[in-house]
């Protein structure tokens, strides 16, 4: 019974940690999506700015070029953050698999212990079974 309680406690702690991690990943993903949305908005504004400059015959690419370079830098940072989030997700999956294996091992050990305890109850050590 004690192993089961310990196993349940470990499982609950693991589930709590997993939920916390998933919440953090979701927050990172949402932040990444907001950043991507802002990047797309800036890119759209840059293109509109550039087209308006051409239409007005005031070709001044310098500000638009700066905006494009800024957007490229932001996209590279976003890509790095996405790669980090994916790596962290893989690491948590491996950890989850590891804890699942430990839980299975504990459950098997508990089952073997329970069978052993049942055998000890059936045949006290001072009475030999008749074969």
Q: How much of the chain exceeds pLDDT 70, in percent?
A: 72
- Residue 38 within any structural domain of the chain: yes
pLDDT at 72: 79
pLDDT at 26: 93
- Residue 131 within any structural domain of the chain: no
- Residue 16 within any structural domain of the chain: yes
Entry pTM: 0.35
pLDDT over 50 (residue 118)? yes
Query: How far are the Cα atoms of 90, 127, 128 from residue 131, in angstroms, in the given order?
Result: 55, 12, 9
CA-CA distance, 74 to 71, in Å (whole number)?
Answer: 5
Of the candidate ranges 9-18, 83-92, 113-122, the one whose mean pLDDT is the lowest? 113-122
- Residue 108 within any structural domain of the chain: no
CA-CA distance, 49 to 63, in Å (whole number)?
Answer: 9
pLDDT over 70 (residue 109)? yes
pLDDT at 100: 86
Question: What residue numbers bound the domain in which 71 lies?
Answer: 2-103
- Residue 129 within any structural domain of the chain: no
The pair of three-digit structure tokens given for residue 5, joined into one six-digit string: 């309680």
pLDDT over 60 (residue 128)? no
pLDDT digits (tens, 9 = 90+) for 13-46: 999 999 999 999 999 999 999 999 998 888 888 7
Domain count, the chain: 1
- Residue 89 within any structural domain of the chain: yes
- Residue 120 within any structural domain of the chain: no
CA nearest neighbour of 21 among 124, 115, 90: 90
Of the candidate ranges 22-26, 47-51, 79-83, the one whose mean pLDDT is the lowest? 47-51
Tokens 């948590």 belong to: 92
Mean pLDDT of 42-62: 65
pLDDT at 33: 93
The per-residue pLDDT of the chain, averaged, comes to: 77
- Residue 127 within any structural domain of the chain: no
């Amino acid at each position: 019974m004690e192993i089961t309680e310990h196993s349940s406690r470990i499982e609950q702690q693991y589930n709590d940690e997993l939920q916390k991690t998933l919440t953090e990943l979701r927050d990172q993903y949402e932040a990444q999506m907001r950043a991507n949305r802002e990047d797309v908005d800036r890119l759209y504004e840059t293109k509109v700015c550039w087209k308006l400059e051409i239409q007005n015959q005031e070709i001044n690419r310098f500000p638009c070029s700066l905006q494009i370079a800024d957007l490229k830098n932001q996209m590279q940072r976003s890509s790095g953050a996405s790669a980090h989030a994916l790596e962290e997700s893989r690491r948590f999956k491996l950890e989850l698999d590891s804890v699942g294996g430990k839980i299975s091992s504990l459950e098997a050990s508990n089952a073997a212990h329970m069978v052993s305890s049942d055998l000890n109850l059936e045949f006290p050590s001072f009475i030999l079974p008749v074969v």
